[in-house]
A and B are shown apart, each in its own frame.
Chain A
């Protein structure tokens, strides 16, 4: 280990580079390589096998003419908006209530969060059973309301709301836990100051606490939003896209075209559109979050 020769370039800090090799390979091959491959091949007419016969934006025009895709997009928009709004509002309210120095806090937290430990498949199947005609509908009818209808799984225009209900059940606990962690991070002295100043609790939450929790809200928003784009298992388990195509979602569209119907070009174009959507959510956030951080450090 003579130190007279400066160990240069590649061999400096060699062990760390070896340790990081899987990461480097993953980044280069999977996250960059595979993504580029998908984008490139989305401009080809590949069917069951990938082929480099470029057809311009044909796949995209076909995609946006397809009613199946448009239904998918509409569904994900409904699902996305509703689950964003409800999970954040409900999650925050639950977190605020949990933060009132209540008894049995651990019990409540355990109850709110356990669905998050379950897979979407399990979630989907449970709610499929509860919303089944033999489920809640039958209970209410047996109570004497003979004409009661709850066709959440059978009505084409309602089925997406059934999926929203199941998704919220699974994910709101996580939002609650994140919000609670955010609330707990707030300096106790803020509360003392507000109390001395005589500011009502709700006003403190609205005008002081929520603005202070901006980073938590933003992070939660991004987490939920990117999760929404990936929505797949829940639909497969709960409705498998039905009735008809009324609960199709983009991720399922991609899967079906790629693996079931051997129409690779369509699948790749659809997945490229998904990627673009995620980038549109992600880039402003990253610039806000990391661009700002750099500015502060410099």
Chain B
């Protein structure tokens, strides 16, 4: 038995498994979430992230394992007794109650004294700037206002852990980025532990202290956003994070003048400066991963790899240029303003220290 619930841990998940019949949704999951941490669970749909959040909330019964919140084993407890507040994607506001009643429902159920309820609602309303909306019904609110109320409902519960289940997915792009900032501000102000489920990597990268990337009911990598972005643990994480997504080239490792290089047909990339976790043994089959912004286009005549422009996609702030290098397609991010014509010959340079090398079989980072 591990009973090392140190003071710094807010939520810890131990050996958690959940299966519906023969389908394993979560497998032997371990996760330690620090006090006051903003943890984002990120992954494609069906990866188990929402399921995990529902398990933490107590809305789903786990098959195996433990959930400990604030040093208390809450595996079998009712959601209300776990010290959590939850915000849902569809807001889940009670349609027949006013905003004020929505906020106070949980407190009234718990039998909190009236004075106290008033105080807490006033505070939440002030923080979220929803004071003028208190007497309205949810149907009279806009999407953004509804989500504020939903956050307020978690806020008044005065709990240590906030759970967000894709809270911004139902909003349009502009509102989403506004509320994203507000959630971040809220976290800085309150300092609560927040567990946030999303499939949107921008939300994950901007909000998280740490991101847990999930796939197939397993956490693939748990790290701070920059590490996740720059040093993805495996090919899945590398491909999932980043937009436009990473280029992958299959090839083998080799040695040239005592230095490791990557070879794929006619393409040769020197890997000096790459921080490998293990020896870059020559002959090993690998996949080289390069983000579009880690490739630079030089003019014709300069040194570098020869490439032919295939397609130019202007995206506003910058543009994405699709190239063929030694017959392999590559996307490169370039400053906007510079346009490339299909068929144009250019030279490209790879930023090897920022690249990722994955084993071809295990797809793990080398």
A contact residues vs B (CB 8 Å cutoff): 1, 3-7
Contact = CB atoms under 8 A, between A and B. Distances in A.
A3 B80 CA distance: 11
13 contacts: A1-B78, A1-B81, A3-B74, A3-B75, A3-B76, A3-B77, A3-B78, A3-B81, A4-B73, A4-B76, A5-B76, A6-B76, A7-B76
Contacts of A3: 74-78, 81
Nearest to B82: A3
By CB atoms of chain A within 10 A, which of B74, B76, B78, B81 has the most? Answer: B76
Contacts of B74: 3
B28 to A, nearest CB: 20
Contacts of A4: 73, 76
Interface in B284-328: none
A5 B77 CA distance: 9
Contacts of B75: 3
Interface string B65-88: 000000001111110010000000
Nearest to B23: A298
Nearest to A6: B76
Contacts of A7: 76
Q: Which 4 A-B pairs have the closest CB atoms?
A: A3-B77, A6-B76, A3-B76, A3-B81
Contacts of B76: 3-7
B129 to A, nearest CB: 35
A7 B76 CA distance: 8
A260 B73 CA distance: 68
Nearest to A5: B76
Given A3-B75, A3-B78, 11 more contacts: A1-B78, A1-B81, A3-B74, A3-B76, A3-B77, A3-B81, A4-B73, A4-B76, A5-B76, A6-B76, A7-B76
Nearest to A7: B76
B301 to A, nearest CB: 54
Nearest to A8: B76
Most buried by B among A3, A4, A6, A7: A3
Contacts of B81: 1, 3
A1 B78 CA distance: 9
Contacts of A1: 78, 81
Nearest to A12: B61
